[in-house]
Copies of this chain bind each other. A is one copy, B any other.
Amino acid sequence: MHKIRMGMVGGGKGAFIGAVHRMAAALDGEIELVCGAFSQDPSRSVESGRILGLDDNRIYGNYQQMFAREARLPKDEAMEFVVIVTPNHLHFPIACAALEAGFHVLCDKPATSKLSDAETLQDLIGQTGKLYGLTYSYSGYPMVEEARQRIASGQFGKIRRIMVQYAQGWLSKAVEKSGNKQAIWRLDPDQAGQSCCMGDIGTHAFHLAEYVSAMRVSEICADIGPSVADRVLDDDGTVLLRFTNGARGSLMASQICVGEENALKLQIYGEEGSLNWSQQEPNTLILKWHDRPHEIIRSGGVGLSRPAQAMCRLPAGHPEGYLEAFANIYRAFADGIRQFPERGELNFPGIDDGVRGMKFVETVVTSSSSDQKWFSLNSIKGEYK
């Protein structure tokens, strides 16, 4: 079985998320990093590529160069897809360039910096017919998949309430004033767009809620804002949710919850049963029932649906974590490439999720500063598959 050949834009020496992507891509031995433009500084790109063991002739000074040259290499040598792990505002132009050069694209979240760009990208993907994946990493957890399968099976009955919380504490102090680079760009409207917290983690929470439930939020009412002096963008907020089927819910996202690490939690209540999942203990899914004892479903354990089981690499009791979830998205994307141009079930998030997320963020920002209570989240674009 040949390894799928990956190129990377961004992710140079010291960049955190680039390393995460490389570990996720490497884990299953099915993907090989063959080239990269790791930095806008060519010498830094070379240095980074060498550390990664690449030949100098596959290390590029910029993405334009990389796409041009790789497109001319023999088909069994050239990269097959590019992963984009640059700052957010570059996601859109790089993705467009890659698609137009004939490459599949896997992109770190978010797809673009604004909704209109996401919609443009959506069109371009349709036109080129290439694969496009978005690393909403939490959807790669087996227990998230199990939750999704169980809801789809109808065993909980009609869903009536969905709560999702995403609490972090790393922005509880003004770290943007003391040199924290992650904080600086995320809190800068020029680089981050109109939202910090909702854009960064609120979208993950929103995606998780809709992805697992297969339901759509129809209306929202938001209260977000900055909590630390001198900030312009939100670092905290809550959103009331109404779903198309009449269910109520809420979404909380905050980066000022002191002491919280990465506390993403999902609770879904149906007529007959409910589920509870927490990202920090990802291998456990708790089910509660109307008329019988609570159940604990475990990654790798008994009673899993086939799709969730297929996402487990280890027997129950051998914890799998964030990198394994991330790697599941890579594996699904590599599967998609292997079968391309056939398209079976593509089990990874894509541009529709990206458009939907942008719609959510823009509506939340609009809502929060308005006296109007409810704002619609319906859109013609951005329908889920």
Point out residues on A near B: beta carbons under 8 Å.
1-3, 19-20, 22-23, 26-29, 32-33, 50-53, 156, 160-161, 163, 165, 168-169, 172-173, 221, 223, 225, 227, 236-238, 240, 242, 248-250, 252, 254, 256-263, 267, 269-274, 279-283, 287-298, 300-303, 313-324, 370-374
Contact = CB atoms under 8 A, between A and B. Distances in A.
B273 A258 contact: yes
With a 10 A CB-CB cut-off, give which of A50, A160, A259, A281 has the most chain B CB atoms: A259
B168 A317 contact: yes
A238 B258 contact: no
Determine how many copies of this chain the complex contains: 4
Contacts of A271: 172-173, 258
A77 to B, nearest CB: 14
A108 to B, nearest CB: 15
B324 A323 contact: yes
B291 A302 contact: yes
A290 B27 contact: no
B303 A3 contact: no
Contacts of A23: 27-29, 313
Nearest to A242: B223
Contacts of A301: 261, 293
B1 A53 contact: yes
Contact of A289 (B51, B259, B280, B281): B259
A252 B271 CA distance: 18
Contacts of A168: 317
20 contacts: A19-B313, A160-B227, A169-B290, A173-B271, A221-B223, A240-B240, A254-B269, A258-B290, A259-B274, A259-B290, A260-B274, A260-B317, A261-B315, A261-B318, A262-B316, A263-B317, A282-B319, A293-B302, A319-B322, A371-B373
Contacts of A254: 161, 269
Contact of A27 (B1, B303, B318, B323): B323
B293 A303 contact: yes
Contacts of A313: 19, 23, 323
B172 A3 contact: no
A28 B53 CA distance: 12
Nearest to A254: B161
A312 to B, nearest CB: 11
A238 B248 contact: yes
B20 A314 contact: yes
The CB with the most chain B CB atoms within 10 A, among A242, A291, A294, A371, is that of A294
A250 B238 contact: yes
A272 B258 contact: yes
Nearest to A22: B29
Contact of A274 (B257, B316, B373): B257
Contact of A258 (B50, B270, B282): B270
Given A225-B248, A288-B169, A302-B293, A262 B318 contact: yes
Contacts of A300: 261
Given A160-B227, A173-B271, A262-B318, 18 more contacts: A22-B29, A23-B28, A27-B27, A160-B256, A256-B269, A258-B271, A258-B273, A258-B288, A259-B273, A259-B288, A259-B289, A261-B316, A261-B317, A261-B318, A293-B302, A371-B374, A372-B373, A373-B373
Nearest to A156: B258
Contact of A50 (B1, B238, B257): B1
